[in-house]
Structure 1
């Protein structure tokens, strides 16, 4: 496993070379020195490996003696760790209590849900910016009050909507209560860029429900959200989330930005962000997990993260052959839309 000194020396030399090509040697030395000092001084220590194993987050394919409640059990080889994407959106209405309960019944090790806020600041579960796709309502979630959100049917557009009664968009707290009762791992994907609002809500939930420290992993595409949260509570498990060209392209490949100037600079920031993920963000934030789109996974990335003691979580893996490849061959944690082993449909992510 890589140690601090190896990390500092390797990345300092790389940074010095890049800056030295642009500026004079004295400036490169000064800038590198300041950046390395800040990174080392302000970094947050990661959760110890022993603690991760105690909680049941054992690397795939190695002996495990931890039970789902973190108290230990019979030693067995750890199998693929499968997380229900949005609670298992292919099996039940996504990001709902019904989906979480169904995922638990279907044998999921954990659920991944999406955190956003209503106009009046209530933390709710929803993936999109708007409620249009998943409910019978319309509008941006941040422009709707919680009382209005409660009137919407979250199963309205689901393929199996006839199997469900009217389903509501739940609050984060409702989700937490269900996961604690079922001892289900909970991956909370923070959608808001407001690091203060997000960390305020999450800190209050971890204080109110201390068992969350044994079950929950807070994830985000926004490193500032993760860093802000861990500065306030360094005992919370966290993950950085990433895919190629996330700032310039949507998952389907279409342009994310309408303005010409944003289209011009977004690829530059994409390159900087990806370089940062591979070189220093994981170290600075002290994260224990890295969530990555399946199209961006390589053996090199797996080995690189493994050497850093970071669990790689691949999304969204639906095809049985892909589950075998990523889970058994590359030994990654999996995020899937369905707990049905025969499910093959490629869902949008």
Structure 2
């Protein structure tokens, strides 16, 4: 996702909550970038390497210096590149300035790594910019990382990102068992959520239903479903399940196609 272009589109459609990914480079710089964006980057290797050009993945940012990334136009290979200006990878300081310029925007910041260095750097930014962090919700797949952040700064607003249940490294017979799904949810809602003090949870759309949503809300935790891109899916989650969701496309919002009578 390209922040400058996306910011304008989101604000225009009254969508003021934006999810961005944060990771750390080899030289210790925090960089802001949506994971899927890297798949569209020019895959040239740094330092003039003549090896076969690999597909750049988000995890490899940890092995690159910021100097290798800062000149890349991350909008170059986007399908709508002709309609948007060039975009560069943001550093964390750039995000702070953008928050100052646009008071209505809130950022869900998903940590792409859970090593101690990225946790320490985010904590340091919080100490220097406590007011700005009132509009940043730090998200992670790691309960441990959230626990470490909130142990140092209880004021942190955090959310837990749950991967699809089938990605859990267990035999399929267990993953397909309703009893396992019950225990899995019970573990996260009644134990991990309490210990980490999260305010929201991201749940895969295939693992979500009305009952699960109610149980999370009863724990005072806001469920957010990902990722919905078709108008029919969005209409169902909006008007039937009444649940917030994450989308990659604002063009497929139901309101852009038909107005539903309340």
Same-fold call, TM cutoff 0.5: yes
Structure 1 contact 97–175 (Cα < 8 Å) conserved: no
> What is the correspondence of 1:169-180 to structure 2 with a 5 Å cutoff?
169-180=89-100
Paired residue for 2:41? 135
Q: Compared with structure 1, are the counterparts of its residues 128 and 110 closer, same or farther at alpha carbon in structure 2 (3 Å cutoff)?
A: closer
Unaligned runs of 5+ in 2: 45-55, 258-262
Paired residue for 1:256? none
SS in 2 for 1:280: helix
| C-alpha distance in structure 2 between counterparts of 1:205 and 1:148, whole Å | 23
Select 1:190's aligned residue among 111, 118, 135. 111
Greater gyration radius = 1
Paired residue for 1:103? 10
Structure 1 residue 314 and structure 2 residue 225: aligned? yes
Paired residue for 2:145? 225
Q: Compared with structure 1, are the counterparts of its residues 153 and 107 closer, same or farther at alpha carbon in structure 2 (3 Å cutoff)?
A: same
Quote the offset at 1:264 in angstroms.
7.1
Quote the offset at 1:126 in angstroms.
2.8
Paired residue for 1:337? 248
Q: Compared with structure 1, are the counterparts of its residues 160 and 314 closer, same or farther at alpha carbon in structure 2 (3 Å cutoff)?
A: same
Quote the offset at 1:235 in angstroms.
0.7
SS in 2 for 1:281: helix
Paired residue for 1:202? 122
Structure possessing the higher relative contact order (Cα contacts under 8 Å, 6 or more residues apart): 1
Structure 1 contact 96–168 (Cα < 8 Å) conserved: no
**Deviation string, structure 1 residues 69-121 (Cα, Å, up to 9, x no partner):** xxxxxxxxxxxxxxxxxxxxxxxxx1433323432233212100011111111
Quote the offset at 1:162 in angstroms.
1.5
TM-score normalised to structure 2 length? 0.79
> What is the correspondence of 1:74-113 to structure 2 with a 5 Å cutoff?
94-113=1-20
**Deviation string, structure 1 residues 274-310 (Cα, Å, up to 9, x no partner):** 5531431001111110111111111111110111111
Select 2:136's aligned residue among 201, 216, 221. 216
Paired residue for 1:29? none
TM-score normalised to structure 1 length? 0.60
Quote the offset at 1:211 in angstroms.
2.4
Structure 1 contact 104–182 (Cα < 8 Å) conserved: no
Structure 2 contact 99–132 (Cα < 8 Å) conserved: no
Q: Compared with structure 1, are the counterparts of its residues 176 and 103 closer, same or farther at alpha carbon in structure 2 (3 Å cutoff)?
A: farther
Report the count of equivalent residues: 233
**Deviation string, structure 1 residues 160-211 (Cα, Å, up to 9, x no partner):** 11123332111123123213422211100011021x2222222222223222
Paired residue for 2:239? 328
| C-alpha distance in structure 1 between counterparts of 2:238 and 2:16, whole Å | 13
